[in-house]
């Protein structure tokens, strides 16, 4: 791979290993440790001077620890004279705080973008940002990959063209759902919901006829799973034949996997952008698909100065 080097911290080592395997490369040896007082320490154990370095690290739970690992590793690479540092962030934490929702509240996504830039990253590679405008929060080149190609292939293998209908679980996700429906050449429905408070959703209405259809909800992330479970109930009550969900980032906070298993969802499919907890790994209704080849191909294209947007032509 010439002057390219891959390095990872502790958030999702399995995904990093799979990306390295796709590229027929190996991970650069590094120590990423936490002292007794929870301070992060990083040591790069190989020469990276003049190299094109790709740092793979999701900022998933514990978000603050993994974010600090990312920032401190960036600083270590800068001081080790890496030629270019690309922060590969499969899951970009704090993305839901992308605007002021009330008086005296932060725009944390912008703050985190600034921190990554100031830490020394020269460009960012991420997957399915919660909101497309977050790309504009970065003052460095940012590639936002989409998991759509992976989902399309899996849906075609599992469902074929048997009365499939793509469903957006809220109005904000219509663009994402429409793109998937276009690729599958199927109809689109929308769940109209309101959110009385953070983390709580209530289905109000379903826009579209879901009767006797195999409904597939698509979203960028799920945390508690409440939205998906409530929407599944509403669609099944409206006559849907089955309801499944495809979600890029399975945040799945404690208790979410159990809620999914007890729900009327047929299954929840999510990518490996976030390392699976024991609860998620053992859940009966949660299945994971890998995006390692998608990230690996994007890394290869960036390293070779090729077009990344071609990956979206699926």
Q: Measure the CA–CA gap between 173 and 150, rounded to whole angstroms.
A: 18
Q: Which of 5, 17, 158, 193 is catalytic?
A: 193
Q: Which residue ranges make up the annotated binding site for D-ribose 5-phosphate? A: 195, 219, 223-227
List residues forming the annotated binding site for Mg(2+): 130, 170
Do the beta carbons of residue 58 and residue 41 sit within 8 Å? no
Name the packing angle between helices 13-22 and 292-303 (round to 10°): 60
Residue positions in the annotated binding site?
Answer: 37-39, 96-97, 130, 170, 195, 219, 223-227
To the query of whether residue 100 is one of the catalytic residues in this protein, the response is no
Catalytic residue annotation: 193
């Amino acid at each position: 791979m010439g002057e390219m080097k891959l390095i990872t911290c502790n958030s999702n080592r399995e995904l990093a290993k799979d990306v390295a395997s796709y590229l027929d490369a190996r991970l650069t040896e590094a120590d990423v440790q936490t002292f007794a007082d929870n301070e992060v320490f990083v040591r790069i154990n190989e020469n990276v001077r003049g190299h094109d370095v790709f740092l793979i690290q999701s900022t998933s739970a514990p978000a603050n620890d993994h974010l600090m690992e990312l920032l401190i590793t960036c600083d270590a690479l800068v001081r080790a004279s890496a030629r270019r540092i690309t922060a590969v962030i499969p899951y970009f934490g704090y993305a839901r705080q992308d605007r002021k929702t009330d008086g005296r509240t932060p725009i944390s996504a912008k703050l985190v973008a600034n921190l990554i830039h100031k830490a020394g990253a020269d460009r960012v590679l991420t997957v399915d940002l919660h909101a497309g405008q977050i790309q504009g929060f970065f003052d460095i080149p940012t590639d936002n990959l989409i998991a759509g190609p992976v989902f399309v292939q899996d849906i075609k293998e599992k469902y074929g063209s048997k009365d499939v209908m793509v469903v957006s679980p809220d109005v904000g996700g219509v663009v994402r759902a429409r793109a998937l429906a276009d690729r599958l050449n199927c109809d689109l429905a929308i769940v109209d919901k309101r959110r009385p408070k953070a983390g709580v959703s209530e289905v109000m209405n379903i826009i579209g006829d879901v009767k006797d259809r195999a409904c597939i909800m698509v979203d960028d992330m799920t945390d508690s799973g409440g939205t998906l479970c409530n929407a599944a109930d509403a669609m099944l009550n409206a006559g849907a034949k089955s309801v499944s969900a495809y979600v890029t980032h399975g945040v799945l906070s404690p208790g979410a996997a159990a809620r999914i298993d007890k729900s009327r969802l047929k299954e929840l499919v999510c990518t490996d952008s976030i390392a699976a907890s024991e609860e998620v790994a053992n859940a009966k209704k949660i299945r994971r698909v890998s995006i390692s080849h998608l990230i690996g191909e994007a890394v290869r294209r960036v390293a070779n100065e090729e077009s990344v947007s071609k990956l979206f032509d699926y």
